[in-house]
Structure 1
């Protein structure tokens, strides 16, 4: 009878093995990953009203393009672009406007006056100079605007990708829905 009693006491007083502790840690880490996932936190922020419309102005300058006006028209027609912030894909955002920018030449005259003129080489060299006005969802934070789970400020480099192009630009302006 003594061996039977020892077996039942071993079942009731079971200790945790290293494998059990590893499995429990994996379950806890998986639960934390689900709770803090960017998509879930974005869905929670949208449901609670923390997300507001954010307008992002992106300037693209000096990108060699065979037909800049056709690229601008294609971006307007598509109506959406994929945006990459600090090498992290954000997803797609709406294109509200694409404004062509004129490059200006500045010269100081012998009498001390400054003269500016439109660069005539811009049309013949085929380079894209444009301002993309993008609309998405984000929230205002103390350090700028959180857009696509990335803190975005004026001067930050971003990439914009359409069906037939991918260009790098710089954020030149931010506006939240309350501004």
Structure 2
């Protein structure tokens, strides 16, 4: 009995093209499930060097601004989202309310920053200091899978709130 007949079938029953396709599918399945790749050092959470990130939030609409700031300061941790990618949980180190100011021209032609007299009953401005562990790369610290730099929009997320701020300082702690 011949291994390959005149119609290109193996042992007279299976087409050589079908056999090749089955081998390729089998190799793909083995590659996906049985030979995992090495984990990326950027995707490892919980390890790395401690950092602190200052985030500024301006004009957050909330019913009771001071009560919200106190509630946020009492929380220990919050989830963050960087560049629309969940980047894990970080510690809330401090929350500082910011006073709104307005530039007022002076009679001598100079300008002075004075407290804004307009009532902002439903708006909060604050600076939040977050702490966590990040991988330090040549391009800067990486939280989750995203780099953290000054100007990066950061989203704080919890069951009670979801809002965005902007990173104004990143400190790598020793």
Give TM class, smaller chain: 0.7 to 0.9
Query: Unpaired runs of 5+ in structure 2?
Result: 4-9
CA distance in 2, matches of 1:33, 1:108: 65
The aligned counterpart of 2:23 is 20
Where does the alignment leave 5 or more consecutive residues of structure 1 unmatched?
A: none
Per the TM alignment, residue 36 of structure 1 is displaced from its structure 2 partner at its CA by 3.1
**TM-score, length of structure 1 as denominator length:** 0.78
**Displacement after TM superposition at 1:35 (Å):** 2.7
Instruction: Please state how far the C-alpha of 1:129 moved relative to its aligned partner.
Output: 0.6
Does the 8 Å contact 2:77/2:89 carry over to 1?
A: yes
Aligned length: 162
Q: In structure 1, the residue corresponding to 2:95 is in which secondary structure?
A: strand
Report the equivalent of 2:52. 55
Instruction: Determine whether 1:101 maps to 2:94.
Output: no
Matches within 5 A, 1:4-153: 6=2, 17-30=20-33, 35-36=38-39, 41-42=43-44, 46=47, 51-121=48-118, 124-153=120-149
Give the Å deviation of 1:83: 0.4
Distance 1:128 1:154 in 2: 21
1:154 and 2:150 correspond = yes
> 8 Å contact 1:97–1:134 — kept in the other structure?
yes
Deviation at 1:31, TM superposition (A): 5.8
Alpha-carbon offset, residue 75 of structure 1:
1.2
Q: State how far apart, in whole Å, the 2-side matches of 1:134 and 1:155 are.
A: 15
Indicate the residue corresponding to 2:7 in structure 1. Answer: none
Given that 2:65 and 2:121 are in contact with CA atoms closer than 8 Å, whether structure 1 keeps it comes out as no
Greater share of helix: 1
SS at match of 2:89: strand
Alpha-carbon distance in structure 1 between the residues aligned to 2:172 and 2:39:
24
Whether the 8 Å contact between 1:83 and 1:93 is mirrored in structure 2 is yes
Output one character per residue of 1:94-145: Cα deviation in whole Å (capped at 9) or x when no partner: 1010111112111122312222211133x53321111111111102222221
Larger displacement relative to structure 2 (24-33 or 98-107)? 24-33
Distance change >3 Å, CA 22–CA 112, structure 1 → 2: same
